[in-house]
Structure 1
Amino acid sequence: MSAIKINTIAHTPPDPRHPYMSGAWTPNFDEYDADKMEVIGEIPSDIDGVYVRNTENPVHGSIGLYHPFDGDGMIHAISFRDGQAAYHNRLVRTKAFAAEAEAGKALWAGIAENPRLSTRPGWGAHGSVKDSSSTDVVVHAGKILSTFYQCGEGYRLDPYTLEQFGTESWVPLDGISAHPKVDEETGELLFFNYSTHAPYMHYGVVGPDNKLKHYIPIPLPGPRLPHDMAFTRKYSIFADLPLFWDPEALAKGRHATRFHRDMPTRFAIVPRYGSPEQIKWFEADPTYVLHWMNAWEEGDEIVLDGYFQEQPVPGALEINHPDPRMGHLMAFVDENSFKPKLHRWRFNMKTGACTEGHLDDRILEFGTFNQERAGTKTRYAYSTTTKPGWFLFTGAVKHDDETGQSQSLSFGEGRYGSEAPFAPRIGAVDEDDGYLVSFITDMVEDRSECVLIDAKNFEAGPVCRIILPHRISSGTHAAWADGPRLRAAQAG
């Protein structure tokens, strides 16, 4: 193995009693560059691109009770070309990271704490937490864009080297939420944000030249907590979900989340470059949705797939921890508690009717598909399975929408994966002709790997396992960037 430790970050030791600062979630403080890594199997020569994953990686924890969404952003990236791979990891040098590095301690309370405990003003919709840029990651206009779920500034990095370029210049005053979408067909980036002041949500389009082209309000009745958006070739889709901050508590400066069971889920569908007057609203069953899968146009209808939560506000888990609030925290990041199911909504653009129903009764989330077909009808979708009681991915499920069949794959005992995007083979013809890519944290072998899974031979397991230079913290959102498209964008 050829690995160079570039840097060790000055940090506060993590709390070994905290379930999301220990075990598979133990944060990393070493930054590496590595190539010529040990490989179990053989790296295919027909894969060319970069797999990028964001990670909640606390450098100084947080003031009070730490929530795993509070962690500082750390990017792990592995690039493939000509049967070779190279790995890099870097903490995102956010403004908050720099401030806490200078202070040598946490300066912001996390989302599980009283915001008044923060010692400095914060960012985004919450207004008092740090923009850690640790939630989501996409690759657009030749660079990584890392984002924070409660709306932040957006940070840019080079996908191959993780060289950092600071905040994104076009981001509006209310920031950019996690889960902006890249349309690989047009090169456009679609994004949204949300806030505690009217109109409460905005939507924008950034061109392939990385310049803001379109920005409009999506008026809502009050502050909301959307987490994701979707798009078709012609339309962008947003949700007004009945789980949001309690208005009376918010007026007193407290961010207490409530699920309003008597309110419908509402969907706003607007042409990609449309105006607020062109928004069409639809009503559906009350739920909360963290993540959508894909959407497309089908005759007079728009079809949207995502993960419908059957219990958006779950009861606390019974755990042995000195802070009684930990049981609630653990439940809200445990899929087996809030019970997301793969679900389909159909919106008739002529009649205004919405029909919906589950596609699978298993607990599934964090879906991926072939992004080259985003916004059009797709046959195959890939979801993750989780360990009961934990925010840990244990395997994946491949769905075939044409046959209704599915296949399952386990990562193995004590092995926890990441969101696994689809990487098309060079010269691929079929929609599933390619690989799922994921980082694995192996608690049995005390190491981490990058695995490639042949999507056409899904249940056979990884075709190769690339041993990383260190065991990395478990993480969530990831993206795949096609090599030739990425290099063309970087060449200008």
Structure 2
Amino acid sequence: MTAQLVETIRSTLKSTDRPYMQGAWRPSFNEWNALFANGEAEVIGTIPADIDGVYVRTGEVPVHEPIGRYHPFDGDGMIHSISFKGGRAAYRSRFVRTKGFLAEQEAGQALWAGLMEPPHKSTRPGWGAQEWLKDSSSTDVVIHAGKILSTFYQCGEGYRLDPYTLDQGGTEGWVPDDGISAHAKVDEATGELMFFNYAKHAPFMHYGVVGPDNQLKHYVPIPLAGPRLPHDMAFTPNWSILNDMPLYWNEQLLERNLHVVNFHPDQPTRFGLIPRYGQPEEIRWFEAEPTYVLHWLNAWEEGDDVVLDGYYQEEPMPKSYPDAPEGYERMMAYLDQMLMKPKLHRWRFNLKTGKTTEQRLDDRILEFGMINQAYAGRKNRYAYSAVPEPGWFLFRGLVKHDLTAGTSETLEFGPDRFGSEAPFAPRIGAQDEDDGYLVSFIADLNTDTSECVLIDAKRFSEGPVCRIVLPERFCSGTHATWANGDAIGMGPNPLL
């Protein structure tokens, strides 16, 4: 390994005794460059020579002493990437230089309170649906038009970075006034990006399309009855799928600027299907059982049906976490997948009858699913879901589903080893849907190291074919993406 410590970000953090500042969530403030080749001590196994592309993972790191209680979603966005070509690998890590990050670095302290504190504790106006939060651009990453798009879950400006070097490109110029939510979707078949946002003022949601040239092509209102908290969307070749779920801020408390979430089990879940370039009057609304869904897996068209797979929560409003430190009982409950009980589920929307049918695909508690992105919007056979760690917002393993055969395999990372989302990286010249690798970052608390692991999807249960030990153990994170080198469209990987 050839490693270079590029910069250590100035931090004013005084203690890490809060629930999500320790263990796998211990913060690190170092930005690294590193190169790896087969035969080096840090490479356990063999770096595959038959993949070419980049794995990018985002996460949250608390740089400054918080104003009040700390929620892990408050942390500044830090992106880690590892690119592969010809049996070599290049790793980079960088904080996203958001406007909030730069302002707090200049001030030498936190300026915005977090998710668990009232708005008046922030010293400056913020961004997004909650209005007084910092847009930390820490929630999600996709690669579109050759660049990383980094986004914030309560809607922000959207930041661009080079996928190989992580050089900063500033904010996206096309983002509307209400921002862009996390989980914009890229259609690899067309190069288009679909996105949504939400706010506390009417019409409460918008939807848009950005072309492969990174120019805004379409932007329309999605009128709702009041403020909602959507987190994800899905698409097919002809439809974009938005949602209106019965888990949202208490309307009476919202009038006092208090953001308290309630579940309304007497209200249905509503799905809005809009043609990709459709108008509000063209939306087809479908009703389903009340629930909340954090993440969708995929959607496709099948005859008169639009089919949607995602993770149905059986307990969208879980009981308080019993062993949490005082003041963190609700936060830790909403971060524990074992309490919310998300399960892989299928919805079918019949365009002729207007009816919805539902089907449970797996009764285990699973979330954060990934597929071969070449099948996004098209019917996929294989899916890769994350297995949660009880009590924590961490992943202890993966499940590979064969949705056609109705079978599955499970892979555990091992005791005190926790992973990130595991996107699929197709082999060069792949012959079928699961011909490639899953890529993930692992925090190993036993050795106090972080690794990049590659798992042959066809030999899933055998575990990693390669483990690359990274320069230091960094803070855990969740959302990640993969892009093939030829899809990035920037010529050869400049690092390899």
Give your verdict on TM over 0.5: yes
**Match for 2:465 among 443, 459, 463?**
463
**Match for 2:188 among 175, 184, 187?**
184
Contact residue 15 and residue 22 of structure 1 kept, 8 A: no
Q: Equivalents in 2 of 1:471, 1:223: separation in Å?
A: 39
For 1:282-301, what aligned pairs fall within 5 Å after superposition? 282-301=286-305
Instruction: State the 1:439 CA deviation.
Output: 0.2
**1:319 maps onto 2:323 in alignment:** yes
For 1:84-483, what aligned pairs fall within 5 Å after superposition? 84-319=88-323, 321=325, 324-483=326-485
**Match for 2:60 among 56, 60, 63?**
56
Residue in structure 1 matched with residue 23 of structure 2 by the alignment: 23
Q: Equivalents in 2 of 1:200, 1:51: separation in Å?
A: 34
Q: Equivalents in 2 of 1:402, 1:117: separation in Å?
A: 52
Instruction: State the 1:472 CA deviation.
Output: 1.1
Q: Which residue identity does 1:25 align to in structure 2?
A: W
Instruction: State the 1:251 CA deviation.
Output: 0.7
Which segment drifts farther, 64-73 or 9-18?
Answer: 9-18
* 3-state SS in 2 of match to 1:36: strand
* 3-state SS in 2 of match to 1:40: strand
Instruction: State the 1:325 CA deviation.
Output: 2.1
Instruction: State the 1:192 CA deviation.
Output: 0.2
Q: Structure 1's 14 and 374: CA in aligned 2 closer, same or farther, altered over 3 A?
A: farther
Q: Equivalents in 1 of 2:437, 2:14: separation in Å?
A: 35
Q: Equivalents in 1 of 2:324, 2:330: separation in Å?
A: 12
- Unaligned ranges ≥5, structure 2: none
Q: Equivalents in 1 of 2:230, 2:51: separation in Å?
A: 35
Q: Equivalents in 2 of 1:347, 1:327: separation in Å?
A: 38
Q: Structure 1's 258 and 489: CA in aligned 2 closer, same or farther, altered over 3 A?
A: farther
Instruction: State the 1:488 CA deviation.
Output: 4.8
Q: Equivalents in 1 of 2:60, 2:309: separation in Å?
A: 27
Instruction: State the 1:23 CA deviation.
Output: 1.0
* 3-state SS in 1 of match to 2:294: coil
Residue in structure 2 matched with residue 36 of structure 1 by the alignment: 36
Instruction: State the 1:58 CA deviation.
Output: 1.2
Contact residue 433 and residue 456 of structure 1 kept, 8 A: yes
Q: Equivalents in 2 of 1:189, 1:489: separation in Å?
A: 21
Q: Equivalents in 1 of 2:366, 2:426: separation in Å?
A: 23
Instruction: State the 1:61 CA deviation.
Output: 4.4
Q: Which residue identity does 2:468 align to in structure 1?
A: I
Q: Equivalents in 1 of 2:396, 2:9: separation in Å?
A: 30
* 3-state SS in 2 of match to 1:291: strand
Contact residue 14 and residue 21 of structure 1 kept, 8 A: no
Q: Equivalents in 2 of 1:481, 1:450: separation in Å?
A: 16
* 3-state SS in 1 of match to 2:405: coil
Instruction: State the 1:490 CA deviation.
Output: 9.5
Instruction: State the 1:13 CA deviation.
Output: 2.4
Q: Which residue identity does 2:404 align to in structure 1?
A: E
Q: Equivalents in 1 of 2:221, 2:247: separation in Å?
A: 21
* 3-state SS in 2 of match to 1:474: coil
For residues 409-459 of structure 1, give each alpha carbon's deviation from its aligned partner in whole angstroms, at most 9, with x where no partner exists.
001111000000001100001100000000000000110100000000000
Q: Equivalents in 1 of 2:168, 2:2: separation in Å?
A: 23
Residue in structure 2 matched with residue 69 of structure 1 by the alignment: 73
Contact residue 13 and residue 62 of structure 2 kept, 8 A: no
Instruction: State the 1:12 CA deviation.
Output: 1.7
For residues 294-334 of structure 1, give each alpha carbon's deviation from its aligned partner in whole angstroms, at most 9, with x where no partner exists.
0000000000000000001111112252xx22121111000
Q: Equivalents in 2 of 1:21, 1:14: separation in Å?
A: 11
* 3-state SS in 2 of match to 1:233: coil
Q: Which residue identity does 1:138 align to in structure 2?
A: V
Q: Equivalents in 2 of 1:259, 1:61: separation in Å?
A: 32
Q: Equivalents in 2 of 1:8, 1:116: separation in Å?
A: 31
Contact residue 336 and residue 393 of structure 2 kept, 8 A: yes
Q: Equivalents in 1 of 2:287, 2:114: separation in Å?
A: 33
- Unaligned ranges ≥5, structure 1: none
Which segment drifts farther, 366-375 or 37-46?
Answer: 37-46
Q: Equivalents in 1 of 2:492, 2:295: separation in Å?
A: 29
Q: Structure 1's 239 and 132: CA in aligned 2 closer, same or farther, altered over 3 A?
A: same
Q: Equivalents in 1 of 2:253, 2:106: separation in Å?
A: 34
Q: Equivalents in 2 of 1:359, 1:320: separation in Å?
A: 32
Contact residue 48 and residue 482 of structure 1 kept, 8 A: yes
* 3-state SS in 1 of match to 2:11: coil
Instruction: State the 1:462 CA deviation.
Output: 0.2
Q: Equivalents in 1 of 2:491, 2:253: separation in Å?
A: 47
**1:10 maps onto 2:10 in alignment:** yes
Q: Equivalents in 2 of 1:345, 1:102: separation in Å?
A: 49
